[in-house]
Amino acid sequence: EPEVTQTPSHQVTQMGQEVILRCVPISNHLYFYWYRQILGQKVEFLVSFYNNEISEKSEIFDDQFSVERPDGSNFTLKIRSTKLEDSAMYFCASNEGQYYEQYFGPGTRLTVT
């Protein structure tokens, strides 16, 4: 069964460093998303992406964040200068577009020290 994959599973970085989190959505899907979950808190929407542009973003998704689909398979989230409060589990999801279900990847745990 096709699935969303994410790499790395765990990333440790120092405050102020740039990180890139990578996702490979399901191949025929058209909509892509990033969510994050700070430990013990809700899963929060960050951004959605369709047709090579951002379709919606939350107030969390400020200028420090960017997304890209550099080729036909990868979908990346870049955090330009990480802060301690960026430590969280980051989930990628994809959706075919016609149906309701968003398929989530296993997540990348980002730890900022």
Under rule CB under 8 A, which residues in 10-49 are in contact with another protein? 30-31, 33, 35, 41-45, 48
Q: Judged by CB under 8 A, how many residues of this single chain contact another protein?
A: 26
The pair phi, psi for residue 35, each rounded to 5°, is -130, 160
Query: Does residue 59 belong to the site contacting another protein (CB under 8 A)?
Result: no
Encoded tokens for 5? 């994959």
102 is a contact residue toward another protein (CB under 8 A): yes
Site for another protein in 66-95 (CB under 8 A): 91, 95
* From 12-20, 59-67, 68-76, 104-112, span contacting another protein (CB under 8 A): 104-112
Stretch that binds another protein, among 11-19, 66-74, 75-83, 100-108 (CB under 8 A): 100-108
Q: What are phi and psi of 66, to 5 degrees?
A: -150, 155
Residue 101 lies near another protein (rule: CB under 8 A): yes
Q: Which of 17-47 are b and which e, b meaning 16 or more Cβ less than 10 Å from the residue's Cβ?
A: eebebbbbbbeebebbbbbbeeeeeeeebbb
